[in-house]
């Protein structure tokens, strides 16, 4: 455990047996037992993280104890009972397999503290009518109040966000590599860092406003969103302006599943002028590509209107 910056951390095997090359007859007898039993048989003990960090203090966010903690400890106890019933009374489980409530209370007693968190969520700019205008206003308010605004995301997302704010505010974000550098930056700074966050936050106490790429551009289309996400262009995000070959400029509003004739099918929902929607099936995803502008910077086409066919014919 350390509060210092480290270039790398090596984590050794914690829940598997590691043997050197060669024959190990003892493995044959172990194969019918669980991994925990094999570890106990081999090492004689399974120390918990509390044993390994016996002198460390433990901090809890306010509200984590009480009902949320009770639920977790109840789940552990339910798992222990279920496993004991499956094993039978004649084979009691070693105590090291599950963390009991008594062990928890003894481990955190006299060395736990409560942390009050002052952070607030960042607005979901991509859901607003003018996301570019709203993020510019947010950055202006925060930096004027002395907060350090940090744009977070991967390299392509940071480049896109930086271009947007430069266009709106005439200001570029400075590079930051870690939290100490962010905290040491001047009040009112605009920074960018290669952190991938699910959502941003504003912490008035530390004077930091983190803006995640997902707050600005919408959640990334990942493979676990279904086949739709894996077929679409990898850089597409919810809220992007796209071009559909047959219908023109629209906004990528959502990746959804619809029920057609009793079968689930992945579709993309595009929104056009006036809020009109159009569902694009998997077979037609090749007709969609990213336009590259922010929604407020373009005029969306009317669904089934005459504007797009005329422009396409003229081109």
DSSP codes of every residue in the chain: --SS--S------SSS----SS--THHHHHTTS-HHHHHHHHHS----HHHHTTT--EEEETTSTTHHHHHHHHHHHHHHHHHHHHH-TTSPPPGGGS--HHHHHHHHTTSEEEE----EEPP-GGGSS-HHHHHHHHHHHHHHTT-EEEEES-HHHHHHHHHHHHHHHS-PPEE--SHHHHHHSPTT-EEEE----SS-EEETTTTEEEEEHHHHH--B--GGG-HHHHHS-TT-BTT-EEEETTTEEEEEEEEEEEEETTEEEEEEEEE-GGG-EEEEEGGGGGGEEE--S-GGGSPPPPTT-SHHHHHHHH-
Please give the average per-residue pLDDT across 9-37, as a whole number: 62
Average pLDDT, the chain: 79
Q: Which of 8-17, 59-68, 122-131 has the highest mean pLDDT?
A: 122-131
| CA distances (Å), origin 48, targets 4, 45, 171, 280, 289 | 23, 10, 50, 52, 51
Task: Give Cβ neighbours of residue 46 (< 8 Å, ≥ 6 apart).
Answer: 36, 39, 40, 94, 96, 97
As a whole number of angstroms, the distance between CA 158 and CA 216 comes to 11
As a whole number of angstroms, the distance between CA 53 and CA 15 comes to 18
Lowest average pLDDT, out of 143-152, 185-194, 229-238, goes to 229-238
Say which residue, 144 or 214, is predicted with more confidence: 144
As a whole number of angstroms, the distance between CA 162 and CA 172 comes to 6
Lowest average pLDDT, out of 96-100, 133-137, 233-237, 263-267, goes to 233-237
Q: Which of 79-93, 181-195, 254-268 has the highest mean pLDDT?
A: 181-195
pLDDT at position 225, please?
A: 47
As a whole number of angstroms, the distance between CA 207 and CA 215 comes to 19
Question: Which of 158, 134, 121, 140 has the alpha carbon at shortest distance from 295?
Answer: 134
Predicted confidence (pLDDT) per residue in 245-290, tens digit: 889 999 888 777 787 777 777 788 899 988 898 998 877 888 888 7
> How many C-beta atoms lie closer than 10 Å to residue 259's C-beta?
8
312 band by pLDDT with thresholds 50, 70 and 90: confident
Please give the average per-residue pLDDT across 39-64, as a whole number: 73
pLDDT at position 99, please?
A: 80
pLDDT at residue 121 tops 70:
yes
pLDDT at residue 40 tops 50:
yes
pLDDT at position 140, please?
A: 96
Q: Are 99 and 48 in contact (CB under 8 A)?
A: yes
Task: Give Cβ neighbours of residue 74 (< 8 Å, ≥ 6 apart).
Answer: none
pLDDT at position 238, please?
A: 75
Q: Are 249 and 299 in contact (CB under 8 A)?
A: yes
pTM greater than the 0.85 cutoff: no
Give strand pairing partners of 278.
270
223 band by pLDDT with thresholds 50, 70 and 90: very low
Say which residue, 251 or 95, is predicted with more confidence: 251
pLDDT at position 190, please?
A: 96
As a whole number of angstroms, the distance between CA 107 and CA 99 comes to 10
pLDDT at position 22, please?
A: 60
Lowest average pLDDT, out of 25-29, 41-45, 128-132, goes to 25-29
Structural domains of the chain, ranges and CATH numbers in brackets: 34-115 (no CATH), 120-217 (3.40.50.11140), 223-314 (2.40.10.170)
pLDDT at residue 224 tops 50:
no
Please give the average per-residue pLDDT across 11-39, as a whole number: 62
Predicted confidence (pLDDT) per residue in 135-162, tens digit: 999 999 999 999 999 999 988 888 888 9
310 band by pLDDT with thresholds 50, 70 and 90: confident
Give me the percent of the chain exceeding a pLDDT of 90.
18
What b/e string do you get for 235-254 counting C-beta neighbours within 10 Å, with b at 16 or more? Answer: ebbbbbbbbbeebbbbbbbb
pLDDT at residue 176 tops 90:
yes
């Amino acid at each position: 455990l350390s509060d210092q910056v480290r270039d790398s951390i090596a984590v050794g095997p914690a829940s598997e047996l590691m043997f050197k090359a060669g024959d190990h007859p003892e493995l044959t007898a172990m194969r019918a037992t669980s991994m925990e039993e094999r570890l106990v048989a081999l090492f004689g003990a399974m120390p918990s993280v509390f044993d390994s960090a016996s002198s460390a203090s433990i901090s809890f966010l306010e509200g984590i104890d009480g009902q949320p903690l009770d639920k977790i400890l109840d789940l552990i106890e339910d798992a222990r009972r279920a496993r004991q019933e499956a094993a039978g009374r004649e084979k009691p489980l070693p105590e090291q397999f599950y963390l009991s409530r008594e062990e928890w209370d003894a481990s955190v007693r006299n060395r736990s503290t409560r942390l009050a968190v002052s952070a607030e969520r960042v607005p979901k700019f991509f859901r607003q009518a003018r996301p570019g205008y709203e993020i510019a206003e947010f950055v202006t308010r925060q930096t004027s109040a002395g907060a350090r605004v940090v744009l977070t995301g991967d390299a392509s997302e940071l480049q896109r966000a930086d271009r947007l704010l430069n266009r709106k505010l005439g200001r570029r974000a400075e590079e930051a590599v870690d939290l100490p550098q962010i905290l040491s930056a001047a009040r009112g700074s605009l920074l960018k860092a290669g952190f991938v966050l699910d959502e941003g936050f504003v912490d008035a106490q530390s004077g930091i406003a983190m803006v995640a790429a997902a707050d600005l551009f919408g959640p990334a289309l990942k493979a676990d969103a279904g086949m739709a996400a894996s077929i679409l262009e990898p850089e597409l995000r919810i809220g992007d302006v796209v071009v559909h070959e047959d219908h023109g400029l629209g906004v990528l509003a959502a990746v959804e599943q619809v029920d057609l004739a009793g079968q689930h099918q992945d579709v993309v929902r595009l929104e056009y002028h006036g809020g009109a929607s159009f569902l694009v099936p998997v077979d037609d995803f090749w007709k969609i590509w990213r336009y590259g502008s922010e929604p407020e910077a373009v005029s969306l086409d009317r669904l089934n209107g005459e504007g797009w066919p005329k422009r396409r014919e003229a081109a």
